[in-house]
Amino acid sequence: MKLLFIHEVNYETKVIFEIHEFPELLNLKGHEIHYIHFPEKIGIRNFNLRSRIKTISGRAYPEAKIQLITPPTLGGSFIDRVMATIYTIPLLYKQIKKEKYDAIVLFSVPTTGWQTALLAKHFNTPILFRALDVSHLLRSAVSKKLVLWAERVVYRNVNAISANNSALADYCVSHNAQHVPLVVNVPPLDLAHFYNAGKSINVRKKYNISNDDFVIMFMGTLYEFSGLSKVIADFAVLKPEGTKLVIVGGGKDEFLLHKLVEEFNLGNQVIFTGVIPYPELPAILGIADVAINSFEPSLVTDVAFPHKVLQYLAAGLVIVSTKLKGLYNSLGENAGIYWVDETSQVLAKALDLRNNPPTNLTETKNLGRTFVQENFNKEKAVSEFERAIKGICRDSI
């Protein structure tokens, strides 16, 4: 198949997850992949009024080849994104008309999503919308209503929707997707990559962590709903000796979290690593004794599927997570995760696990690895996603 993927993030800089894994794995299965992205945060030096096309190696799978299409840009700022809703339309029109794709896979909503849905319908090109989150709830109050409108336009004008968990699928149905075929496809996971995680003395030394320190780790984008401000505040109250909180990643709340650590005088116990390159993730995960997902329960998190939890499981980590609806529905009680109801319970539960017998923790780790092997291995996930795409193609390729 000749497929066009479209998203509104920067393919070359975004943290690697399924938006890279699915197209690259499909390319390795023999499909031709074109990808239109949005060059966010590239800086005014990269101002360019012409579209650019280049072939790149895959980021998750370097042996894959993707034709990456970059629309005109004023530098990737917020103003650029607003303007892109209009000036990317000629690119989308030309690309869909010229290339005659077998199908389009759409991740985008406000920046290029609603336009793609309408243009694809005009050209009778089948389109599968891949739902990852509640897009309008990730925006400011000013743009929230407009993005909700864009969501509904997308839901009404695509041929089918693929959601990454059942709670998100329910949300889509409740927002004008009642008559659109909908399927749940789990994201792919490169188990072999994360199986390499192991205790790394050198990494511990790099971050001034002793072999005797108990390490609690959070990995992922630092959103305002990450719950880390509460975890850090609880850390300041409990003052656990011989314990380090390692925060891996970056995001809009990073400055706030650094400020909290400074205010609580926790500089020796809370460590920020910044964003870690994908090839190095197993090594950093290997220093953790417990990994946490401290997301605050809400609509936006209840329908999310934090990819990091799958990576934690594949790395053989003990996990404490808030009981988010979408995540719990997908993993349940069989993945070896310690579920808590509120963010305020995350740190206490993680610290409590220091007292669990090692044999119990080993059984928990093995249970998690077995679960992801059976339910989230990349071969199974990409085959099912491929089937969903073929299901909308005109000639049932």
pLDDT band at 39 (very low <50, low <70, confident <90, very high): confident
CA pair distance 15, 124, nearest whole angstrom:
33
Q: What residues contact 361, with CB distance under 8 A and at least 6 apart?
A: 318, 353
**Residue 169 and residue 199 share a domain:** no
Same domain, 262 and 199: yes
pLDDT band at 35 (very low <50, low <70, confident <90, very high): very high
Q: Give the whole-angstrom CA distance, residue 34 versus residue 69.
A: 7
Task: Tell me whether strands 290-293 and 214-219 are parallel, antiparallel or unpaired.
Answer: parallel
| 132 and 209 share one domain | no
- 160's enclosing H/E stretch is strand 160-163
- Domains contained in the chain, number: 2
Scanning 264-324, the segments in alpha helix (DSSP H) are 281-285, 299-302, 307-314
Q: Which residue has the tokens 């650094």?
A: 258
> Which residues span the domain enclosing 169?
2-188+378-390
- Residue 167 to residue 154: CA distance in whole angstroms: 18
pLDDT tens digits for 82-141? 888 898 999 999 999 999 999 999 999 999 999 999 999 999 999 999 999 888 777 665
pLDDT(396) > 50: no
DSSP 188: P
Q: How far is Cα 7 from Cα 62, in angstroms, rounded to an integer?
A: 20
Q: How far apart are CA 97 and CA 122, in angstroms?
A: 10
Do 17 and 165 lie in a common domain?
A: yes
Q: Tally the C-alpha atoms within 13 A of residue 92's C-alpha that lie toward its C-beta.
A: 29
Q: What is the pLDDT of residue 177?
A: 66
Same domain, 87 and 179: yes
Please compute the mean of the pLDDT values over residues 64-79 and round it to a whole number.
86
pLDDT at 146 over 90: no
The answer to the question of residue 395 being in a domain is no
Q: Which amino acid type is present at position 76?
A: G
- Flag whether pLDDT at 302 surpasses 80: yes
Residue 45 binned pLDDT confidence (cut-offs 50, 70, 90): low
396 inside domain:
no
88 shares its domain with 154: yes
8: in domain: yes
18 domain residue, yes or no: yes
The reply to whether 270 and 172 lie within a common domain is: no
Residues 57 and 199 in one domain: no
217 in any annotated domain: yes
**Length of the chain as a residue count:** 397
Give a yes or no: residue 353 inside a domain: yes
Q: What's the longest Cα–Cα distance across the chain?
A: 64
Rounded to 5 degrees, φ, ψ at 69 are -115, 120
Average pLDDT estimate for 212-233: 94
Can you tell me which residue has the tokens 């390490």?
215
Instruction: Pull the structure tokens for residue 101.
Output: 């794709």
276 and 367 assigned to the same domain: yes
Let me know if residue 397 belongs to a domain. Answer: no
pLDDT digits (tens, 9 = 90+) for 386-395: 999 999 996 5
Instruction: Write the CATH number for 340.
Output: 3.40.50.2000
Do 170 and 199 reside in the same domain of the chain? Answer: no
Looking at residue 46, what is its pLDDT? Answer: 66
Q: Please indicate, yes or no, whether residues 327 and 371 belong to a single structural domain of this protein.
A: yes
Q: What pLDDT is stored for residue 184 in this prediction?
A: 95
What share of the chain in percent tops pLDDT 90? Answer: 70
249 lies in the same domain as 118 = no
Non-local CB neighbours of 352 within 8 Å, separated by 6+ positions: none
In a domain, residue 204? The reply is yes
In sequence order, the β-bridge partners of residue 129 are 106, 161
